[in-house]
């Protein structure tokens, strides 16, 4: 990823403000003095201490406890308009949801030099308080802010984001993809297992792949004998439990900041196990590297080996975060893509033709991936915490407010993408004269990997893993879906629920 120079950033801002003026946003005052106060922003009503909790209660609550994030956001948009406020629960910061891409742009771009993305307060507590001595000031990308984040990110960016460096893992990832295909051949006729456990099988592939890139080792997830006691199984369980427990603790009233509730204790144990198991693998990788020596070709070096040469503690923490953030995100995206191809057989056939052709660019495959990520983002919304006063549509947004960009919801609106519910990879390849042309949507609408210099650091790795696997799968199998639509659980992070009604037949 090439970072923008300062002058490029300024010219982008100038273009943006022209767009802003042309599109009538200037009818609102931009002066802080004239701005309407923060508390006048419309939104969910709030109770003392409990905030808007009552809206999420069973039966009586407007949304209920199993709220679908994008549906909730849609209801708030229709009712309250382009700026919606949600007061924080317990000690959480207040939140504002912005529905106009220009407004999101205004706030997010102002944070470009110091992108603050707080969120997992529980994980911050684990790293900075409970295990302070272990982490000793190195907190990783997911939890660090300000200079600590910037220092860490600057050290790891090249090894994880430079396309040339990431591509060296291609042949090893191809082997893993082939092992997954072979495993699928063995299990695909067992309908009960496939219906219940397809997600587990894909998660094993994604862990095996990210561990290969991160640690330079095969964990053995794709063998037929993986038991729940295997350290790799523990890592997969920890990643899932961590998201689930954090969601419960951070988005529903839970007084964990005042005393250790059972859910809180469970989360601390989960984080502890995840750290211990990942450290075990990281230590094994270090030992292998030390025994083998460093005088090896670049393509044989894992990310941890490259980072160990820069900063040992950063290397260990980055490997740990890869084993946490790089599993379910990638497995979800592959499931989503396979599902869209299964219910759109003509697109699947078109993709197969491309995969089997001599064309090395595989543009249709990339378009399929973009389209599936437009429809379902792994993380339905992005978040930044404001660090200065903003005036948005005439309202004052003070520092310290979490500004939410509901990107998945926006990416499914007709006004940005014609026929938004349809899977049309062609829109990513269409030219400017075509009404489907993706570029008609504002660049802040679809952000599956987040925004700017704090966007996903695993993006290149994820795209490489997914493209390699899809090439093998679609070449080998014709994928169909037999049954009602797949069940999407839309929360902090999207996931799917069984049954997985995929069928895989040998492709002609
Ligand atoms: C399709 C797969 C993936 C998707 C859709 C995804 C999405 C995201 C998003 C939306 C963010 C927040 C960015 C922001 O705030 O602007 C993020 C951050 C992050 N992701 Fe990913 N991710 C994926 C795969 C991965 C993988 C494979 C890894 C590990 C190699 C990874 C590691 C991280 C880390 C460490 C961060 C925090 C970055 C920072 O704050 O500097 N992700 N990801």
Query: pTM for the complete prediction?
Result: 0.91
Whether 319 contacts 442, CB under 8 Å = no
The atom of ligand 1 lying closest to the CA of 461 is 27
Test site for ligand 1: of 458, 460, 462, most ligand atoms within 8 A of the Cβ = 458
| Residue from 210, 306, 325 whose mutation best tests the ligand 1 pocket (most atoms within 8 A of CB) | 325
Enumerate the β-bridge partners of residue 504: 479
Question: Is 348:341 a contact under the CB 8 Å cutoff?
Answer: yes
Atom of ligand 1 nearest to the CA of 383: 15
Q: Whose CA is nearest to atom 7 of ligand 1?
A: 449
List, chain by chain if needed, residues with CB within 6 Å of any ligand 1 atom.
117, 141-142, 153, 210, 321-322, 325-326, 329-330, 333, 378-379, 382, 448-451, 454-458, 461-462
- Residue 456 assigned ligand-binding role: yes
* pLDDT tens sequence for the chain (508 residues): 344 433 333 333 333 444 344 444 446 667 888 899 999 999 876 665 566 666 666 555 666 666 778 888 999 999 999 999 987 665 577 899 999 999 999 999 999 989 999 878 899 999 999 999 998 888 899 999 999 999 999 999 999 998 888 888 999 999 999 999 999 999 999 999 999 999 999 999 999 999 999 999 999 999 988 999 999 999 999 999 998 898 888 877 677 888 899 999 999 999 999 999 999 999 999 999 999 887 888 777 889 999 998 999 999 999 999 999 999 999 999 999 999 999 999 999 999 999 999 998 999 999 999 999 999 999 999 999 999 999 999 999 999 999 999 999 999 999 999 999 999 999 999 999 999 999 999 999 999 999 999 999 999 999 999 999 999 999 999 999 999 999 999 877 899 999 999 999 999 9
Q: Are 370 and 428 in contact (CB under 8 A)?
A: yes
- Give the bridge partners for 502, in sequence order: 481
Put residue 120 in one of left, alpha, beta given phi > 0 → left and psi -120 to 50 → alpha.
beta
Task: Answer whether 411's CB lies under 8 Å from 381's CB.
Answer: no
Strands 502-506 and 477-481 turn out to be antiparallel
CB 366 within 8 Å of CB 464 = no
Residue nearest to atom 27 of ligand 1 (CA): 326
């Amino acid at each position: 990823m090439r970072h923008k120079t300062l002058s490029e950033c300024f010219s982008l801002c100038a273009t943006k403000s022209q767009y802003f003026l042309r599109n009538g946003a200037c009818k609102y005052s931009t002066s802080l003095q004239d701005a309407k106060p923060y508390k006048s922003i419309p939104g969910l009503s709030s109770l003392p201490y409990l905030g808007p909790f009552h809206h999420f209660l069973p039966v009586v609550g407007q949304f209920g406890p199993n709220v679908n994030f994008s549906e909730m956001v849609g209801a708030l948009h229709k009712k309250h308009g382009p700026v919606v406020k949600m007061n924080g629960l317990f000690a959480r910061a207040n939140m504002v949801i912005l529905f106009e891409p220009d407004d999101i742009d205004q706030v997010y771009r102002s944070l470009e030099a110091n992108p603050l993305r707080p969120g997992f307060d529980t994980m911050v507590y684990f790293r900075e308080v409970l295990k302070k001595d272990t982490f000793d000031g190195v907190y990783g990308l997911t939890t660090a802010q300000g200079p600590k984040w910037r220092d860490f990110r600057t050290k790891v960016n090249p090894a994880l984001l430079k396309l040339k460096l990431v591509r060296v893992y291609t042949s090893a990832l191809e082997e893993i993809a082939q092992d997954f295909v072979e495993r699928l051949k063995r299990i695909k006729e067992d309908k009960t297992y496939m219906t219940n456990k397809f997600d587990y099988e894909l998660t094993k592939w994604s862990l095996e792949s990210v561990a290969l890139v991160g640690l330079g080792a095969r964990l053995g997830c794709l063998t037929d004998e993986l038991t729940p006691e295997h350290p790799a199984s523990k890592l997969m369980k920890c990643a899932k439990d961590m998201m689930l427990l954090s969601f419960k603790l951070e988005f529903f009233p839970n007084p964990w900041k005042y005393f250790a509730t059972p859910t809180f204790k469970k989360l601390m144990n989960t984080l502890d196990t995840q750290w211990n198991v990942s450290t075990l693998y990281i230590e094994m990788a270090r030992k292998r590297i030390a025994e083998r020596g460093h005088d090896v070709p670049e393509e044989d070096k894992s990310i941890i080996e490259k980072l160990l040469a820069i900063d040992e503690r950063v290397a260990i923490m980055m490997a740990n975060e890869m084993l946490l953030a790089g599993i379910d995100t990638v497995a979800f995206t592959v499931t989503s893509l396979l599902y869209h191809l299964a219910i759109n057989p003509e697109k699947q056939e078109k993709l197969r033709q491309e995969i089997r052709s001599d064309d090395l660019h595989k543009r249709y495959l990339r378009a399929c991936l973009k389209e599936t990520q437009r429809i379902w983002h792994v993380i339905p919304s992005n978040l930044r915490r404001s660090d200065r006063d903003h005036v948005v549509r005439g309202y004052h947004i003070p520092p310290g407010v979490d500004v939410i960009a509901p990107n998945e919801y926006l990416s499914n609106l007709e006004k940005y993408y014609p026929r938004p519910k349809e899977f049309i990879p062609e829109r990513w390849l269409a030219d400017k004269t075509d009404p489907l042309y993706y570029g008609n949507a504002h660049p802040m609408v679809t952000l599956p990997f987040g925004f700017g210099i704090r966007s996903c650091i695993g993006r290149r790795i994820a795209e490489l893993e997914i493209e390699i696997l899809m090439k093998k799968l679609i070449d080998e199998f014709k994928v169909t879906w037999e049954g009602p639509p797949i069940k999407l659980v839309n929360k902090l992070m999207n996931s799917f629920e069984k049954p997985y009604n995929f069928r895989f037949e040998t492709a002609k």
